Structure 1
Amino acid sequence: MATKNEKSKGGNSSDKAKNLEEFFLDSLKDIYWAENALVKTLPVMFDNATDQKLKTAIDTHLAQTKEHVNRLDQVFESLGEKAEGKKCLAMEGLIKEGEEILEETEKGAVRDAGIIAASQKIEHYEIATYGTLAAFAKTLNKRPALDLLLKTLGEEKKSDCLLSTIADTNLNSQAASQDFQAKDEKAD
């Protein structure tokens, strides 16, 4: 039975990863596309955020994301491969979900809470991906790639923690107080 991917590619077995090294390279192309897509998406999130701490976190993460792309260029180079992306369906979906949040919320604390929620989903995807890629690099004895991937993994984890802190220290409470204010206004 052919998988959906085999049908869309015409079932060509030459497109399939035959070993862990090929799967590793294919996964690198996936995250390379994802990081480049985030470079375009993060400025939109920045423009829609109102909380200054959140805006600063997004701006910092944009700079980091550009560095992550540079590191991935180095990973590809260390493997003797050309840096190229392959559409990441997971990231495409996460970005679309974030865009939907922007459309469905008014500017302010509630939208900021939504931006954090969407951003953390993205961070968790990146953490899972970089953790897996680092495990593959370790297994394949690709030490230069492993070191670069672990550095990015650490930064992604820190970004996730920062977003949690911003949400927990005040932002979610502000969004909730908007809910209470709206209910009070309806009751009047």
Structure 2
Amino acid sequence: MDIELDADQLRNFFIAHLTKIYTAKTHLVSSLHTLEEEAHFADLKKGIRETINDVQKQQGRMRQIYDRLGAEVSEKSSSGMLGLIKDSFEEIRQRSGQPVLRDLAMLFYLHNIESIEMASFQLLQMIAVKMKDEEITRLVRENYEDAKTDRTLLLLITTKYLAASST
């Protein structure tokens, strides 16, 4: 099987999918501030705060990638990722009178979002290797590592949260 993909097609695909993640992260970081205030469990608040810091670092790296590629930073609508984030936060808002279930919903959806980001960064890293740009590869790898660390932190917080809950 012969697969033809030229450098411009690869670059354009990379930028388009980087933009989807960038847009989702922009929306996510603004929503996370609200979640941090509403979280009931202290470790969850701390985890959200750490996630906000990591997202801002990731966005900075993504802007460096845009610069390196000579592309404009764009926040084009990405209905798939944005839809998941909006649905997640709507579900969390519906639990506003139930702090324990609201925290559990926050953890559930933050896990889902982090998993998608990890997969996205992992694939973009593979594409960056194919593009033969070591700096872009490094920046995407760092974003992947941040997402992986955040996901692990969320798993630990969820474990602690469920262990602390009484049934």
Same topology, TM > 0.5:
yes
Candidates 145, 149, 153, aligned match of 1:158: 149
Residue 149 of structure 1 aligns to which amino acid in structure 2?
V
Q: Which residue of 2 aligns with 1:25?
A: 15
Give the conservation status (yes or no) of the 8 Å contact 1:31–1:85.
no
Tell me the equivalent position of 1:138: 129
1:62 aligns with 2:37: no
Is 1:149 matched up with 2:129? no
How do 1:112-123 and structure 2 match up within 5 A? 112-123=103-114
State the Cα deviation string for residues 21-59 of structure 1 (Å, max 9, x = none): 211111111111111111211112112211111101101
What is the distance in 2 between the residues matched to 1:166 and 1:24?
Answer: 33
Q: Where do residues 1-188 of structure 1 align in structure 2 (5 Å cutoff)?
A: 19-105=9-95, 106-169=97-160, 171-175=161-165, 177=166, 180=167
Q: In 2, Cα distance between the equivalents of 1:102 and 1:92?
A: 15
Q: RMSD over aligned Cα, in angstroms?
A: 1.5
**Highest RCO, 1 vs 2 (Cα 8 Å, sep ≥ 6):** 2
Superposed displacement of residue 98, structure 1: 1.8
CA-CA distance at 1:104 after TM superposition: 2.6
**2-structure distance, mates of 1:128, 1:88:** 16
CA distance in 2, matches of 1:158, 1:71: 16
* Unmatched segments (≥5 aa) in structure 2: 1-7
Matched AA of 1:88: S
1:154 Cα deviation from its structure 2 partner: 0.3
1:97–1:118 Cα contact (<8 Å) kept: no
Structure-1-length-normalised TM-score: 0.79
Distance 1:124 1:155 in 2: 12
Report the number of matched residues: 159
In terms of Rg, which structure is larger?
A: 1
The answer for the alignment partner of 1:12 in structure 2 is: none
Q: Which runs of 5+ in 1 are unaligned?
A: 1-17, 181-188
| Aligned AA (1:162) | L
Q: Does the residue aligned with 1:86 lie in a helix, a strand or coil?
A: coil
Whether contact under 8 Å (1:109, 1:172) holds in the other structure is no
1:121 maps to amino acid: N
Please give the per-residue CA displacement for 1:126-155, whole angstroms capped at 9, x wherever unaligned: 001111111110111121111001001001
Percent identical residues: 25
